[in-house]
Each structure stands twice: as C-alpha cells, then as structure tokens.
Structure 1
Amino acid sequence: MSIRELASHLNISIGTVSRALNGRSDVNAETRKRVLEAAAELGYVPNQSGRSLRQGTTNAIGFMVETNSEMSNHGDTFFTSVYDGVQKVFAPHHLDLVVLLCPSGDDPYDHVRRVVARRFVDALFISAIQRHDPRIDFLIEREIPFIALGRSLSGGSHPWIDLDFEGVATQAVNRLVARGHRRIGLVNPGSEINLGYIFADAYRAALAANGIAYDPQLLVRAEQTDEEGGYRSADALLALEPRPTAVVLVNENMAIGVYRRLHEAGLMPGRDMAVIGLRQSQLTGFLSPTLTCFRISLFDLGRRLAEGLLATMPAYRDSHPVGLVQEVWPIELVPGESDPPPR
C-alpha cells in the first residue's frame, strides 16, 4: 500500500498522513492515532521506516515471544538463557534487546506488522514458527533483517536455527525399542507450529526403522503443551487397549502432568509406563523417578542466533561474517530412571 492509498482510505491529505507517521507536532492526537492504527491494520510500511530497520538506527533489536504458547511451554528459564546469550553478542555493539510479547488471542502476523510500522527496532528475532508462517514472507518482502528460531515451509532463503527435534524423536524411540518397548506413544502440539510436524515425521520414521508399524492412536495432539496438557494426554493414552508401555513428550513440563495422572491411576511412572521428555530443566530435576530427557545449550543457542542476525545487517556484517545461518541445534541425551524395560 502506498501513502497515497492510505490517505485516500482515511480521506485526509497525503501531507497530514506523512506528518502523522513521522510524529510531527502539528498533527492533533486523534488524527495521529487514526493514521497509525490504519497503517498497522492495512500493513502500510513507510519507506523511511523500512530504511531505518534495514540500516539500524534505533540500536534496539526485538525478540518476539508468544505468551499464549511459548511462555507456558518453557517457563521463564528457556528464553532467559537464550536472551543472556544474545546480549553477550550485542554488548560490544551497544545494542539493546527488547522482548516483544505477543499476547494471547493476538495474531502474530498483525503483531509483526505493527512493530514494523511503528519502527520500534532495527531487526527481529521471531519464534513459535508455524509450518506456513506469513511473518517470514512479510519480513522478506520488506527487506527487514530477521532470524527465525525454528524452520518453516514459508519464505525463500532466510536465516534460521532450530532445535534437533528429529534427533530427539529418533534417539528416544531407539532407546525405548532397545529396552523392549514396542507400543510407544507420542504427545505432540495440537497447533500448526512446525516443530510438531518435524517431531511426528521423525517418530514415524524411527518406528519404521525398527520394524514397528505406526499406530495413529498412539499419536496424541495436545492443545496445551504444559502440565495440564500432559495430564490430559496421559488420560487419553491410558484409555487405549492395550495401553502404551512408553511415551515420548514434546515438552518436558508435560511430564509433571503425566506423572500425576499415572499416580492417580495407581500406576508408577517408569515402572508401568516409561516416560521421555524433551529438555532438561530445573523443574523436571525434582521428578521421581528422574526424567530421561535432553540437554540443550541455550546460552550458546542465543549467541548463535545473535551472530546469525547481525550477519544480515550491513552495519555488523564485517564483525560477524558467518554468512547465511541455517542450522539444526544439537541436543544431548541425559539418561534418567523414567524409561526402564516394560514389565
């Protein structure tokens, strides 16, 4: 949309729209509010703001986090550790990290468009990547520097780093099969987040590699990937006949709900159903039996994300000549006591 079209939509002059977008004092507050809201709603990005974002003039970088999914899934520790690594790279450049919380019920695509239109930051980290994510296409089209924490089918050649969900699913299934399990459940997100598709594909491939037929009943899609989601998913698995002897969880906090539901059914986690979670965390360290899960270096992940983003920004390419970053971040199995052989 051009500024002329925006002015026509609002039925005011191009000059007034331009002054309102640039924060001029000779535009009254009500008109400025109308212009900014219409620009955000219609996806209008002034050329000046596009240049500002591409060249880097605010010395602030935004990290978009969805409070309705990621904050409940990982708690504060996941992103806090990532932020710490990001800021370690930013500090020598005197760059500030700004966390942009996309509230529950808000459209992440609209949220990104508003951020771009208001020129809050010079570049963006985006997370909770969808299988088809319009934010990626939007940012590429506007030539705005960004890096994605996660893979997507959207966009062309753009920077991203994703956790090794294939490795988690493959190692978990192989470990359980080696211990005698044949009926292995998987609890996956119920949303369109792409990690769920990656996780499920790797799970099915690992079963096939071990000569086990895939049973769609054993793949549970959880609307909440937290403690409550784990509880409800365990309830669904226990209703199957025969019930699975093991389950792999896409989120470590779900293990708390799974343990609770098993105890209520008079069953013992590990003894009556083997459980493998995703990430080693402080919370899961208090579970009994100890949870078999995976170690991820989140601080180093944050550093690499920051390096990959700065490599896309002309002002910082020389100091971070890492090229186009497209990486699967490694994970390490941490054996626990929650996945013995079946009884």
Structure 2
Amino acid sequence: MKKPSLIPHAQAGASGIRDLAARLGISIGTVSRALNDKPDVNPETRKRVIAAASELGYVPQQSGRSLRKGATHNIGLLWEIPEGRAAYGEPFFLSLFGGTQQVLSARGYDLVIMPDQPGATADPLARLRRIIQQRQVDALILPWTRTMDPRLDYLAEVGIPFVALGRSRSGGPHPWIDLDFEQAGEFATARFIAAGHRRIAIAIPADSLMQKRFFLAGYRRALKAAGLPFERALVAEGHVTPAGGYAAATRLLDVIPRPTAMLAIDSSMAVGIYRRLAELGLSCGQDVAVIGGVHDTPMTEFLVPALTCFSLDTVALGRRLAEILLARLDSKANPAGELWPIVLVERQSDRID
C-alpha cells in the first residue's frame, strides 16, 4: 500500500495539510481551523481531523503558526558560558533543564537553551535583543543575575514574560527564585566556629553576581554573632570554576596567620582549592577544613576527602521555574519571589581531628 505523501513531523507544510484535507474530504481551511482549535469547527469534525493527523504523523509547521498567532511555544533560557574550557554550572543546569522541560511539555512548550558569552560584543544586550526582535521565544528564564542587571530592565521594558533565577535590584517587580545563599554562608561559617576555627576564609565570585552579596553577608553575620572580626584579607574573589578556586586559594593560603578553614560558594571552586592545598603539602580535612558549594554535584563525593557541601533538588527547582513562568504567561501577574531551601551534606572535608 502506498504511503501518504506527507512530510513527517515538523517538516510538514502546505502539501501535508492538503493531503490531510483530501483524505478527510473536507477543505484545507476546515482542517487548519480544527488543528488550531477554532470555535467555528464542528466537534465531530475536529475529532476526525485530530485523529487523522495523529495517524499520519502530521504536525503543523511551527514557524507558520508562530507568524499567524504571534507565539512560538518556545521558552528560552539564556545560559552564560565563560571564555575558554570552563563551562561552569553544567551539572546544576543539566538536571534543572530536565525538570523545566517536564512541566513545559505538558503544556506544549519546549525549552530552548540559548548560550551567551559575556563580553563577546561591545553591546552586552546584543544576544538578548536579537532573541526578542526575531521573536524566537515566548518567554525567558534568566539565571546568573547581577546586582544591577540591564537584561532584566530590558525585558521589563519590552514586556516579554520572564522569571529570574536569582535576585536583582533591576527589572522592577518580577518573579524570581533564588537559593538561600545568605543562610548557607551563615550556617557553614557557624559550623566552622563551633568546631573551634577562628581563621575562616571565604571564596566568592569575581563579578557582580547578586549571590555573592548574600553569601558574604551570611558569613559576616556568623562572625559577628561569635564576636570575631571581619578581615578583608580572608576574602578572595575568583571565577566560579576550578581555576577560580585555585587562584582564590593561592591568595588565601598566603595570608599570615594562615586560615584553618575555607568556605567556597561553589563546589567547582572547591576542586581548585583541593589542588592548591595538595601543592603546598597540606591535607584537606586535616590541615585545612573545607566546605564548598551550594550544589552537591556528582564529583563532590569522589574527591578525597569527600566534600562537605550543600544540596538541593535541582529537578524540582526546574519544575517550579516552569510553573511560575507558565502562570505568568496565563495571567500576566507577577508572582512573589521564592527562596529555595538547601541542606548541608556532611562528609569528611571539614572534619579536623
């Protein structure tokens, strides 16, 4: 039996809809209206069209539908990737992507990952402007927020729905989810203090990421509560990568008296700290206690000693981001911001006998 001359799935175009109409003995216009759920189509006819389309594997061309309806059914995530080999955040984001897509799929949307390299062009908004001007997505998820973030101001100005993964002073009222970096910084520092440490160093991001302000604030609050002074020499900034952690540890371990405990905002930075300790003949968990990161990645338990760090459900976080954004698309309302809980995973890196 000769197969229908349809181009399958997303490649199906005008010839596909003509074949579908011919098979059913109805007009192309009726088929189109039925597939687009128009109210002027007889319910029985709509059922016949949908059943036949499913049987033949016909899916309307999304590009044509987007132009007619002003929607793409794509949700973009602007993923910043630094220069060089260090694509930070991979384990965190890969599991988050999965959770986000689970929720979006149920509503007929797809998550589109849109890599961006900060500093690649003179205009920091160039990539974002192109996405919006070309109508590539219906809404956006923006991670790695800055204290003052022109991306959020631009999105608020043009009126495209978005949810931020992180807090900012920019963008006016908008929905966001953030990890509780302040609580993590305070809890980890207080844990060191309870273990008898008084020289506690901290490694934070080198740029204007909002998360570093909260992490540092928690660290300072724990010191103050214990009556310990804040020393600028015990704070080092670096890229959120193993190389950044290595550079930060190099500076911190040169401080005299040397710190006996080190706290890093990200587990990838802790990898660099481990290497610098080894080069200096120091043992993590014996000479210097280490707590690293607000995300427990698969590599942390394979470090020697296994890394004490914080953990969160990134799949659930991804689902919640999608839920908030879909609610924003449905109602145009701005849900309140949410702080996402994290818990400490106790291992051996911060235990000094």
TM-score by length of 2: 0.76
Mapped to 2, the partners of 1:135 and 1:104 lie a distance apart of 12
8 Å contact 2:164–2:175 — kept in the other structure?
A: yes
Paired residue secondary structure (1:324): coil
Paired residue secondary structure (1:62): strand
User: What corresponds to 2:42 in structure 1?
Assistant: none
Is the counterpart of residue 313 in structure 1 residue 324 in structure 2?
no
Paired residue secondary structure (2:323): helix
Residue of structure 2 aligned with 1:67, choices 67, 81, 87 = 81
The Cα offsets for residues 245-280 of structure 1, whole Å up to 9 and x where unpaired, read as 001001101111111111111110111110001121
**Runs of 4+ more than 4 Å apart:** none
Are residues 336 and 250 of structure 1, via their aligned partners in 2, closer, same or farther at CA, if it must alter by over 3 Å? Answer: same
Mapped to 2, the partners of 1:157 and 1:75 lie a distance apart of 27
User: What corresponds to 1:333 in structure 2?
Assistant: 344
8 Å contact 1:187–1:221 — kept in the other structure?
A: yes
User: What corresponds to 1:191 in structure 2?
Assistant: 207
Mapped to 2, the partners of 1:90 and 1:125 lie a distance apart of 13
Structure 1 residue identity aligned to 2:257: P
The Cα offsets for residues 120-147 of structure 1, whole Å up to 9 and x where unpaired, read as 0000011111110011111111111000
Residue of structure 1 aligned with 2:92, choices 70, 73, 78 = 78
User: What corresponds to 2:219 in structure 1?
Assistant: 203
Paired residue secondary structure (1:162): strand
TM-score by length of 1: 0.78
User: What corresponds to 1:300 in structure 2?
Assistant: 316
The Cα offsets for residues 150-209 of structure 1, whole Å up to 9 and x where unpaired, read as 000112210000111011101101110000001100001110111111111121111111
Structure 2 residue identity aligned to 1:239: D
Paired residue secondary structure (1:141): helix
Structure 1 residue runs of 5 or longer lacking an equivalent are: 1-51
Are residues 149 and 75 of structure 1, via their aligned partners in 2, closer, same or farther at CA, if it must alter by over 3 Å? Answer: closer
The Cα offsets for residues 75-114 of structure 1, whole Å up to 9 and x where unpaired, read as 4221111111111111111111110111253354222111
Is the counterpart of residue 216 in structure 1 residue 232 in structure 2?
yes
Structure 1 residue identity aligned to 2:192: L
Paired residue secondary structure (2:125): helix
Residue of structure 2 aligned with 1:161, choices 172, 177, 189 = 177
The Cα offsets for residues 28-66 of structure 1, whole Å up to 9 and x where unpaired, read as xxxxxxxxxxxxxxxxxxxxxxxx89x861111101001
Q: CA deviation at 1:74?
A: 3.9
Structure label with greater radius of gyration: 2
Mapped to 2, the partners of 1:264 and 1:251 lie a distance apart of 21
8 Å contact 2:186–2:220 — kept in the other structure?
A: no
Residue of structure 2 aligned with 1:128, choices 135, 144, 167 = 144
User: What corresponds to 1:252 in structure 2?
Assistant: 267
Identity %: 43
Mapped to 1, the partners of 2:204 and 2:87 lie a distance apart of 12
Moved more, 287-296 or 75-84: 75-84
The Cα offsets for residues 321-342 of structure 1, whole Å up to 9 and x where unpaired, read as 996041111001000111124x
Mapped to 2, the partners of 1:176 and 1:225 lie a distance apart of 22
Paired residue secondary structure (1:288): coil
Structure 1 residue identity aligned to 2:209: I
- The count of corresponding residues between Structure 1 and Structure 2 is 284
User: What corresponds to 2:112 in structure 1?
Assistant: 98
User: What corresponds to 2:159 in structure 1?
Assistant: 143
Q: CA deviation at 1:225?
A: 1.8
8 Å contact 1:139–1:145 — kept in the other structure?
A: yes
Structure 2 residue identity aligned to 1:252: S
